[in-house]
Amino acid sequence: MEETPSQINAYRVPKIPPFWANDPEVWFATVEASFQVAKVTDDTTRFHIILANADTAILPHIKDLIMNPPTNGKYDAIKERILNVFSISQGARLRQLLKGQVLGDKKTISFTAGAQKFSWGPSYRQYH
């Protein structure tokens, strides 16, 4: 028995984690890794997967894209919108990291991991 394209695609449904409002960049990185593993390359399919997995916190911010999606670049449009709404600036991240932080409150490795988000140069690991 030969499989139809819809049956073949059913085996390639990516596993999308719940939305991480506090770190949408990392969430999209995991989503895109899932797309790679599942070999999902079609723009419209990626768009629909994001919609199918959209958190209720996201939906009001993308309503116009849901109701009237762009002809081309649907996935990029929804990704850009979500990142624009939920991403915080470098300055705000730094304030979050430092707000009330005394190095004794966290282990050094935890503080370093948080601080690495602000590094614009080569990471420490590249040299050790």
Q: Which two tokens stand for residue 116?
A: 């690495």
* Segments forming the whole domain that contains residue 37: 24-105
More confident residue, 10 or 128: 10
Does residue 122 have a pLDDT over 80?
no
Over residues 21-33, the pLDDT tens digits come to 888 999 999 999 9
Mean pLDDT throughout 83-111? 65
Task: Return all residues near 72 (Cβ < 8 A) that are at least 6 apart.
Answer: 43
Say how far apart CA 55 and CA 60 lie, in whole Å: 10
Does residue 71 have a pLDDT over 70?
yes
pLDDT on residue 123: 47
Mean pLDDT throughout 37-54? 94
Determine, yes or no, domain membership for 62: yes
Does residue 70 have a pLDDT over 70?
yes
Q: Which two tokens stand for residue 108?
A: 């050094």
Determine, yes or no, domain membership for 86: yes
Determine, yes or no, domain membership for 97: yes
Q: How many domains does the chain have?
A: 1
Say how far apart CA 17 and CA 88 lie, in whole Å: 20
Determine, yes or no, domain membership for 11: no
